[in-house]
Structure 1
Amino acid sequence: MSRLRQHVAAIAAAVSIGSMSFSAGAVEVFRVSDYDGGSQIWFEAEAFDERLPEGAQFFPISGEGNAAKAPDDTFGEVVTRAGGAGGRLSYTFDISRAGGNGGTWYFFGRVINPSNQSDYMLVESHPDDDDIPDEPPFPGGDGVKPFDNADDRIFEQDTPAWAWAILAHNEGHTKQLEDGENTMHIFHRQGNNTRVMDVFVWVDDVAYLPTDDDYISAEEKTSGLAVDSGAKLTTAWGRLKRRQSRLR
């Protein structure tokens, strides 16, 4: 049986006994690794738990609405942007699944960003991120409260081709995570659809720099929650097919 069909068979079996759910509670499929003696947890940009407002108004997935299709050299779909400032993406992930502990972690995204279009990121466990907007309309723009460019801005860098950004660990790319589950929220700060996001990774080693090969070789895991609808099973099947095609 192919690796893809093994994944789907496992999902289908879990659905039949009601033991798995791809609910809005956590990133469904992720990868973990321990390169250079550290801990890394990886997940794709389209694997968000929640997108507010719902739909493609601010953060469309490739091919959704008027968004362009994903480039051939992506690992699945990509998330881009549309409209003005506003919108939020949320991701819940468990660093213990990567063998990690609470402390200072560093965030990278595999992005294309040729015109330096940045966003904000707040993390619920980070001491300075205690004021997190929880419903639309979300604030946006340069330095608008509660965001602080020096602590929350991400992807403030020209990245004309795929790269893991940013290497300097500055601004919102360094956060305090707590043991176990953490939730990050990305807010639309500015920009246009030239900035696309493919894969994210959190790492606990300041010297470690991610690579595409490291992502490919990392161990794939699932959240282990119960699938509660046929529609979500179809979504999981589609993601697995795209991932299998990319990793051949």
Structure 2
Amino acid sequence: MEKKFEQLTESRQQQLMAFDRLLTIMDELREQCPWDRKQTLESLRHLTIEETYELSDAILSNDLPEIKKELGDVLLHIVFYAKIASEPKEGQIQFDIKDVLHGICDKLISRHPHIYGDAVADTEEAVKQNWEKLKLKEGNKSVLSGVPASLPALIKSMRIQEKARGAGFDWDEKQQVWEKVQEELEEFKANFDIETGDAIDANAAEGEFGDLLFSLVNYSRFVDINPETALERTNKKFISRFQFMEEASKADGKVLVDMTLEEMDAYWNKAKELEK
């Protein structure tokens, strides 16, 4: 049931007033700013992707002030899209921010019948299974149809496996998954001449490498590791160590490209020691 503004707590009133302030500023910018007037749904798309990655970086760094800033940028984009869609085209308005908000509210209510209805779901797994069943009832032709085609491959493999699990298609024990990882590793190795490192069949090797990665992602779910987060943390760790190696060797009057691998390893190991 909707409440009147005066019935809300002071904190909620302040939140709504802040959101109203953002909507008002968006109206003014869309009317008065040459850059904002020029934007379209398509022109904002790549900027939204960039902002989402910046938010992801802030979360991985656990930088709360930066997270707050990046959330604001993402929220601005949501409001911007809704503003553009609310502008009449051929005498019709497509939707506005009110429709966006009511749409997500209605979906949350319908997708949580264990909260807003009579269904029972006492575990996270039961909630996920109910979610996938409801999506099929809403018109999805496949459990996997909700996975965006443009997702990066690693994240896509995670979502595919999660959705398959929601439909009951999954391994029972993590040991079974680990055995699958070992099987895929052997099949990948079989596509190479181990002595020379040459691929026997490049296409087959690529396919087996993909199977190996997919099985590793599968195993990560069973040990509660997010492979995307794990790989990104390793990326950041490598960058930090490599940049230390560059700076430390330069301070010693050395040029990285002229150093031997053994010399570089000494700086690399020092970087690792500093992390402890």
Q: Shorter-chain TM-score: which interval?
A: under 0.3
Query: Which of the pair is proportionally richer in strand?
Result: 1
Higher relative contact order (CA 8 A, sep 6+): 1
Query: Which of the pair is proportionally richer in helix?
Result: 2
Q: How high is the TM-score relative to the length of structure 1?
A: 0.25
